[in-house]
Structure 1
Amino acid sequence: MTTITKVALAGAKGNLGEVVLDQLLKAGFQVTALTRQGSSQTFPSNVSVKAVDYSSLDSLVNALRGQDAVVATIASAALGQQLLLIEAAAKAGVKHFIPSEFGCDTLHERTSTLPGYKTKVDVLEYLKKTAAETGLTWTAVFNGPFLDWGLKVGFLLNVKERTVEYPDGGNNKFSTTTLESIGKAVAGVLKNPEQTKNRGVYVQDAAVSQRQLAEAVKKVVGADGWKETITSTQEIYQQGLEEAKKANPNPGIVFVTTLKPAIWGEGWGSQFEKLDNDLFGIKQLSDEEFQAAVASYVPK
């Protein structure tokens, strides 16, 4: 039976990475943070730190020797660096790899075709191939958009400017999860490597529509002065396809026009059908708990 004790974390200082690090430590794992050479980042005294060159296979293999698992919470712009990290993990004898997914379901047959997810899909396909050829196993964590971060920074809707978009009318439900619950899911995967190996796992704190989310926010900040627009995810999707065809596409446009149909469009797997919450001890929020959570996350 596989037991995971030592975990290497790549991207430990990102929005999600810091929370994942905290949850791994709370779960009792021995964590090593991988940092870029020359980095001045600091970590708690109970975290080991290894500086690596993400472009060097030898550097990564040396850093990963003796580790049981690798968790990547790498930012979108650097997702491609996981290819070498996966190769290094396999060469170093690492047992399990969790790639930097943590969003919409890129295993979904439609979502996987979206241009903005190409790098994630390529990484996951390479991870599957490597796992089939070596002793490495993997798990992809899917959680929908970040509920707390999405409200704080104005991604899900913009509280400071009082603007909200209702894709396709805003009534399609989507799965959404807080950073803390995602961190718990990562720790849960590593506590249950046999039950979660070589598959995607799905967690959510709630499944809500954009209109339900907006109403919850308005109960906190007031309903006056909002600018509301209705958009079409099909039109947004077509914009993304056209942008992706250009000789020099704008990656930001491609990414955003990918995210919107994947989160809010019907038929893109945005509301998860089967959840792994129970395996990880993650309780879904009641209506009252959801309202209280929204109240704690919106900018005042």
Structure 2
Amino acid sequence: MAGYKNIVLVGASGAIGKIIIDCLIASSSFNITVLSRKESKASFPAGITVHKSDFSDADLEAVFKGQDAVISAVGATAFGEQKKVVDAAIRSGVQRFIPSEFSSNSQNEAVLKLAPFFGQKKELIEYLKTKQSDGLSWTAVATSGLLDWGLENGFLEFDVANHTATIWDGGNQSFTLTNEKQLGQAVVSVLQHPQETSNKYLYIASVETTQNEILAALEEATGAKWSVKATTTEDQVDEGFKKLGAGDFSGAFQLVRATCYGNTPGLQANYAKDVTLANDVLGLKLESVRDTVKRVVA
């Protein structure tokens, strides 16, 4: 089965959307349309068709007509709106939908207890399964956290500028992370291999590591001894839920980190050991933590 050619990306202006669009462009394999809200001020690279939409059913159907695949990279506030996009894609004859997964494993109950806001992701996968008979196939890609992205902006709690780190539960819990480019390459590969990836929940990874390994690589790359703050899963989760309950969304970030760093039983955060990686199917290779850190620090 030939790969898909005509692609619509929803949520292209966000962090994940930008990663995906860069890799779609670099592949030179697709006709790319970006679906953007009418009020959005975002700009996109030359050669991209940009459609400003009110996200009405009629408008979505008009944009999706003649398209092969729709990719959703929407943020947390729009997870629940994806069903509407799926329904419009079906009515328009779209063949493949890639939901906004690209993070922790939303199919894992231990993950959902820590990050209940990912429940809408799980619901969408269940919804997509019910729509397979309507002619729409789907592929979800779980990446866990993003290593290079999370080092650059501090999300992973390694502060490169100030040489400080927050280490959970001693720092020896193993997990996998994915680099930005590999996330984008995974999406490209899904589109180029529709039969092999049809109706599947795929796990990918760039590195299998621990917090202490990342810290050691950072100390080596920066030539400095870092200051470490020790914390525990219990403290982080308690604080995260308290913040979230008070309307502070930074608490959600703590809970997402807990799905990776945490010692909660059943998290299966090491995709290389706990589940089956789809790296081989997608043509992706495991990478070096040291090489990634050197690239970020340089």
| TM-score of the alignment, normalized to the shorter chain, above 0.5 | yes
Verify the 8 A CA contact 1:170 1:209 in the aligned structure 2.
yes
Q: Partner letter of residue 221 of structure 1?
A: T
CA RMSD after TM alignment? 2.2
Alignment of 1:154-233 (within 5 A): 154-156=154-156, 157-224=158-225, 226-233=226-233
In 1, distance between residues paired with 2:118 and 2:18?
A: 24
Unaligned residue ranges in structure 1 (runs of 5+): none
- Equivalent positions of 1:92-171 (< 5 A) are 92-113=92-113, 114-129=115-130, 131-156=131-156, 157-171=158-172
Query: 1:3, CA displacement in angstroms?
Result: 4.1
Match of 1:275 in 2: 277
Percentage of matched positions with identical amino acids: 32
1:291 and 2:290 correspond: yes
8 Å CA contact retained: 2:4, 2:192: yes
Q: Which moved more, 1:105-114 or 1:93-102?
A: 105-114
Q: Give the AA of the match of 1:252.
A: F
What amino acid maps onto 1:292 in structure 2? D
Distance in 2 separating the partners of 1:277 and 1:96? 20
* Structure 2 residue identity aligned to 1:215: A
* Residue equivalent to 2:255: 258
Aligned residue number for residue 22 of structure 1: 22
Structure 1 residues 251 and 58, CA gap change in structure 2 (3 angstroms): farther
CA contact (8 A) 1:115 1:255 kept: no
Paired AA for residue 20 in structure 2: V
* Aligned-residue offset at 1:141: 0.6
The one-letter code matched in structure 2 to 1:174 is F
- Separation in 2, partners of 1:279, 1:211: 30
1:92-140: CA deviations, max 9, x gaps? 11111111111111122321333232232233333333x2452111111
C-alpha deviation, 1:227, in angstroms: 3.0
Q: Please state whether the residue corresponding to 1:50 is helix, strand or coil.
A: strand
Give the Cα–Cα distance (whole angstroms) in 2 for the partners of residues 20 and 165 of structure 1.
Answer: 29
Give TM-score, length-normalised by structure 1: 0.88
**How far does residue 161 in structure 1 lie from its aligned partner after superposition?**
3.0
Provide Cα deviations, 1:14-33, integer angstroms capped at 9, x if missing partner: 22222211222333011111
Q: Distance in 2 between matches of 1:237 and 1:154?
A: 18
Q: Could you tell me which amino acid in structure 1 is paired with residue 150 of structure 2?
A: G
Shift of 1:219: 1.0
Deviation at 1:283, TM superposition (A): 1.7
Q: Give yes or no for contact 1:116–1:258 (8 Å, CA) kept in 2.
A: no
- Amino acid paired to 1:268: L
Tell which deviates more after alignment, 39-48 or 99-108.
39-48
- What is the deviation of 1:38? 4.3
CA distance in 1, matches of 2:140, 2:149: 20
CA contact (8 A) 1:176 1:206 kept: yes
Q: Is this contact kept in 1: 2:2–2:192, CA < 8 A?
A: no
Shift of 1:239: 4.5
Aligned residues: 290
Sort the Cα spacing of 1:39 and 1:206 in 2 relative to 1 into closer, same or farther, 3 A: same
Secondary structure of the corresponding residue to residue 215 of structure 1: helix
**Deviation of 1:220 (Å):** 1.6
Contact 2:57-2:88 at 8 Å conserved across structures: yes
